Amino acid sequence: MAYQIIIVDYGMGNLNSVRKKLSKFKCNPVISSDAKDIANADKIILPGVGHFQNAMKNLNKLNLVDILNEVVLVKQKPILGICLGMQLMGNKSEEGNAAGLGWIDADVVKFKVHDTLKFKIPHVGWNHISKLKESCLMKDIPELSEFYFVHSYYLQPNNEIDILNTTEYECKFTSAIEKNNIMGVQYHPEKSHDVGESLLKNFINI
């Protein structure tokens, strides 16, 4: 079965690299900012690179918040947030004065490192993930797999049950979340070679 997967275009993402990876599998990835496309999607990917406040402004300007709330919270279709896309699922961010989507009880905070020579901000490069719970998204992905990161902020959930992965970068931070149909990864699966492809394939098959 070919799923209709919509990659939400709100002017903040590396959309084509995500679409290119998804095109390797049996699915039909479409980049769109059309509410009708999002409403008809089987699954949704919310990518993103950039500033939290600007991202929320763009989503509101495009009138996408209501339709996203409907398909995610009411229809409970699977959604995967990538990097900034995951952060937008929280309540608010230290990056700008704007409320997030509020799907996850969490706040976005900036890295506060002490050893600034060893731990540069933004956090860029490969790092390991630890798996905190069983998940279809993590199927056949070994403990301590390496994914590619590029970020200065991370989502800090208030409920530990929502945390799927953690990663160490001087401190331990949340690198993936899962709450029912809502999933998010701080790392970039589209840039993480075979293990990233496995994660995207797992999402398609959920």
Q: Catalytic residue numbers?
A: 83, 188, 190
Long-range contacts at 116-121 (CB < 8 A, ≥ 24 apart): 118/170, 119/169, 119/170, 121/152
Q: Where are the beta strands (DSSP E) in the chain?
A: 3-8, 27-32, 43-46, 79-82, 92-93, 106-110, 123-128, 130-131, 146-151, 153-157, 163-169, 171-179, 182-185
Give the tokens for residue 139.
């199927």
Alpha helices in the chain, H assignment, sequence order: 15-22, 35-40, 52-61, 65-69, 84-87, 193-205
Residue 27 burial class via C-beta count within 10 angstroms: exposed 0-12, middle 13-18, buried 19 and up: buried
